[in-house]
């Protein structure tokens, strides 16, 4: 059951209200809208990998921006949003053999987050391990000159993650959407022009 505080925050949240009015499955849609308004990455991305795709609000945004895109979506929770351009894998991406797809992507998006504990350092370390795994398989999943959008919680592993990403992408930046809650430590890392090809 959701806490009373959480329910009160949802009721007052302008982005929750906007999402319901427009038909987005969650307020998270506005984070991707803001990111793409700044970086313009989705329209030129036809093959897309989305990690942590459920319930499907980012998928909705992607297909509104680029209706031709083909999305491989991964989550351990069923997606509410279904579309002919989306192939959903109800799988833990940590355990999935991406070599089996024999496919690389124009953009990789991850709005993944662990089940948060409320302990900021623990949550940061958990999400950092997810990101480190994504980085470890970039040679398998990322096309040359492709892009990356990753959610991270701020913390001690950031510096190392950014350092490694800069060895893989020609440009790496932080972006904090206005729709991200002010008390949240989440921030997005944007990588452009993947160049480390084996």
Q: Which residues are catalytic?
A: 151
Q: Where are the alpha helices (DSSP H) in 13-114?
A: 14-22, 29-39, 57-65
Which residue, 154, 96, 164, is CA-closest to 125? 154
For residue 10, give every residue at least 6 positions away whose Cβ sits within 8 Å of its Cβ, in sequence order, or none: 2, 16
> Contact at 8 Å (CB) between 194 and 143?
yes
Q: Is 7 exposed, middle or buried (0-12, 13-18, 19+ CB in 10 A)?
A: exposed
Whole-angstrom Cα Rg for the chain: 16
* Joined tokens for residue 135: 């980085």
> Both tokens of residue 144?
């040359």
């Amino acid at each position: 059951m959701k806490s009373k505080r959480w329910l009160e925050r949802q009721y007052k949240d302008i982005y929750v209200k906007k999402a319901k009015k427009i038909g987005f499955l969650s307020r998270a849609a506005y984070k991707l809208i803001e990111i793409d308004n700044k970086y313009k990455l989705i329209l030129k991305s036809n093959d897309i990998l989305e990690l942590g795709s459920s319930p499907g609000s980012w998928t909705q945004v992607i297909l509104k921006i680029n209706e031709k895109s083909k999305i491989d979506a991964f989550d351990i929770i069923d997606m509410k949003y279904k579309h002919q351009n989306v192939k959903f894998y109800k799988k833990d991406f940590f355990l999935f053999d991406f070599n089996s797809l024999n496919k690389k992507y124009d953009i990789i998006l991850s709005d993944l987050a662990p089940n948060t504990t409320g302990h900021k350092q623990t949550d940061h370390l958990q999400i950092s391990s997810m990101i480190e795994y994504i980085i470890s398989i970039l040679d398998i999943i990322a096309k040359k000159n492709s892009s990356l959008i990753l959610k991270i919680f701020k913390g001690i592993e950031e510096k190392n993650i950014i350092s490694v990403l800069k060895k893989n992408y020609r440009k790496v930046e932080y972006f904090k959407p206005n729709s991200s809650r002010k008390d949240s430590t989440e921030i997005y890392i944007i990588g452009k022009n993947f160049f480390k090809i084996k």
